[in-house]
Amino acid sequence: MSSEKFSATLRIGDLNDYIAPSQGCVVSLKANSNPNPNTPPTSSSRLDKFYAENPTTLGKAVKPVETEPVKISLKDCLACSGCITSAETVMLEKQSLDEFLSNINEGKAVIVSVSPQSRASLAVHFGLSPLQVFKKLTTLFKTLGVKAVFDTSCSRDLTLIESCYEFITRYRQCHLTTDEKSKLALPMISSACPGWICYAEKTLGSYILPYISSVKSPQQTIGAIIKNHICQMLCIRPEDIYHVTVMPCYDKKLEAVRDDFVFQVEARGEKITEVDSVLTTGELLDLIKSRSVDFASLEESPLDKLLANAAEGGHLYGIHGSSGGYAEIIFRYAAKTLFGKEIVGPLNFKTIRNSDFREVTLEVDGETVLKFALCYGFRNLQNVVRKIKAGKCEYQFLEIMACPSGCLNGGGQIKPKPGESAKDLIQSLELKYMENVTEADPLENPIIKGLYAEWLDEPGSEKAKKHMHTEYHPIVKSITSQLQNW
C-alpha cells in the first residue's frame, strides 16, 4: 500500500504489517490555512515537523515546516479511510509526556496502569526481571507525584472471565438455534487489539463486526474499574483522577479517545474518560532518560496490591500468552464447561502457515468439537477475514492481533539495540515475559472475585455489560477521503 499519489496530503510511510504506518492522512496541509493574518495559527508542532521531513521513521530531529501547520486529532484518524495505523505517529498534546507531567504538577490524582508487555520490554532493556521493573517503576512514578501504580494484567483477568462467558453464550446460541442470524455468533474474535478494531471498522464494515467480542480491552477495563469503583474506595471524584496507561502499542492512544469509552457522571453531568492518556514503552524510556535516572540502581518499592497481580514470595500471577492468552484461557474453559474435559498441561498449538498462525483443537469421540486459532500479523488477518466473509471459517474462536508476534512486538515497544535482530529481541521478550510469573486461573484471582462481589455482581451481569463491554461501528468514508487522489 503506497503513499505515492498523496501529493496534496500529509504523507506517512508504507505499510509494514502494522508496525509502520500506512497511507497518507486525508487532512490536507492547505486545509487549515489561516484566513486572518493577525491570528496566530494553531499547531501541533511535533506532528507538523514529523510529517514534513521524516515520513517513514520515528524519533529523529527535523526541521520546521515552511507551510501553514495543520491541526489534527486522533479522532480525525479514526474517521478517515486512508491509513490503518497512521495515528501511531501522531503525538498530540493530550497524549504526551508533557501532558502527563503537567497533570502531576497541577495536583491531579494521577494513577498509572502498566501493561505486562511494557514491563517485559523494560526488563530486557535494563537486564532486570519484570517484577524488579514493576517495583522500580512504582518508585519512579511515586517520586514524580503519582498516587498509585496498577497492573493491567489484573484487568486482563477480568476481560478473560467476561470473554469466557461471552463465548459460552455465543456457542450455545449458535448450536441451539436454526435461526441463520443467530449463527453469526461464531467465530468469536478477540477485541483487545485496537489496530485490528480500527481496520475492521474502517475497511471491513458491517459484515465482520458481529463476530467481534464485545468485551473491552484490559486497558479500557482497568480504566472503567478505576473511574467507576476504585475512585470510591480512594474517596476521590472520578473527574479528579488523571489515569495514564503504559502500553506496547501506539494504537492504544486511538483506543483511549473513542467516544464509546466516555461516560457521564449522572449527579454532575460531567463526561469522564476511562483512560486520559497513553504512554508507550518507548516514551516511558524517554522519560527515564530525560530525568537522568539510573533505573537499574533505583530503589524497589512495594506494589500497590489494590490492583496488581502480586503473589506472596516475590512473584506475579499471570497466564501463558504474551498477547493476553485469550485463545488458551477460553479454550480450556469451553472444553470443561461444554464437554466436561479438564485440560492439564500446555495446549498443543500446531503451526499452520507460519509461526504467527497456529491452531489448537479438542476431539471428543473422534470428532473435532473445538477449533481455535492464534492469528497475528496483517497477512494472516486478511486470509482469515476472507474465509469468514465467504462463510468458510472452520474456527469457533480467533485471537487476532495486528502485529506479527503479537503485543510484545507492538510499535511502541523499545527497539532492538545496535547489532540485535528483531527476531532475537522477540525471543528475549517471550522468555522475559514469563519470568517471576506464577500461572494462575483468572477465575481464582482474589482481586477479581472481590470486584464481582463488591461491584459487578457476576460474570455477564447487567452491571458487567454496562462497564466491561462495548460496541463497534462501521466507519462511513468521508467525502474528503474519497476525493483524496484527485
DSSP code of residue 204: I
Q: Quick check: 169 pLDDT over 70?
A: yes
pLDDT at 196 over 90: yes
Q: Please tell me the predicted confidence (pLDDT) of residue 315.
A: 82
**How many Cα atoms sit within 13 Å of 318 on the Cβ side?**
23
What are the residue ranges spanned by the domains of the chain?
97-155+217-317+444-458
What is the value of pTM for the model shown?
0.81
115/12: higher pLDDT: 115
What is the pLDDT at residue 471? Answer: 94
Give the model's pLDDT for residue 26.
Answer: 41
**Cα–Cα dist 198/82, whole Å:** 11
Query: Residue 25: what pLDDT?
Result: 44
Residue with cell 507538523: 48
For residue 177, give the 3-state DSSP assignment: coil
Q: Which of 269-278, 326-335, 475-484 is predicted least confidently?
A: 475-484
Mean pLDDT score, 32-46: 40
Is the pLDDT at 82 greater than 80? The verdict is no
pLDDT in tens, 247-262: 999 899 989 989 899 9
Give the pLDDT band of residue 312 (cuts 50, 70, 90).
confident
pLDDT band at 87 (very low <50, low <70, confident <90, very high): very low
Q: What is the pLDDT of residue 93?
A: 60
Bigger pLDDT: 183 or 189?
Answer: 189
Which of 49-63, 74-88, 279-293 shows the highest mean pLDDT? Answer: 279-293
| CATH number, span 97-155+217-317+444-458 | 3.40.50.1780
- On the question of pLDDT at 65 being above 50, the answer is no
Mean pLDDT of 319-336: 93
Question: DSSP 3-state assignment of 194?
Answer: helix
Q: How far is CA 98 from CA 95, 104, 187, in A?
A: 8, 10, 42
**Each residue's pLDDT tens digit, 391-433:** 999 999 999 999 999 999 999 999 999 999 999 999 999 999 9
Instruction: In whole angstroms, give the CA distance from residue 374 to residue 322.
Output: 12
Mean pLDDT of all residues belonging to the chain? 81
User: Where residue 46 falls among pLDDT bands split at 50, 70, 90?
Assistant: very low
The three-class DSSP label of residue 36 is coil
Q: Which residue has the higher pLDDT, 478 or 16?
A: 478
DSSP tally for the chain: helices H, then strands E: 17, 16
The per-residue pLDDT for range 343-399, each reduced to its tens digit, is 988 899 999 989 999 999 999 999 999 999 999 998 999 999 999 999 999 999 999
Is the preceding omega at residue 248 within 30 degrees of 0, hence cis?
no
Distances (CA, A) of 117 to 249, 262, 330, 457: 10, 25, 20, 30
- In this predicted structure, the answer to whether residue 301 has a pLDDT above a threshold of 80 is yes
Neighbours of 419 (CB within 10 A): 6
- Smallest Cα–Cα separation from 391: which of 203, 235, 187? 187
Q: Could you tell me if 82 and 26 are in contact, meaning their C-beta atoms sit under 8 angstroms apart?
A: yes
Residues 6+ apart with CB under 8 A from 250: 85, 87, 88, 89, 280, 410, 411, 412
Over residues 449-462, mean pLDDT = 96
Question: Does residue 22 surpass a pLDDT of 80?
Answer: no
Distances (CA, A) of 87 to 47, 157, 286, 411, 484: 10, 28, 19, 11, 18
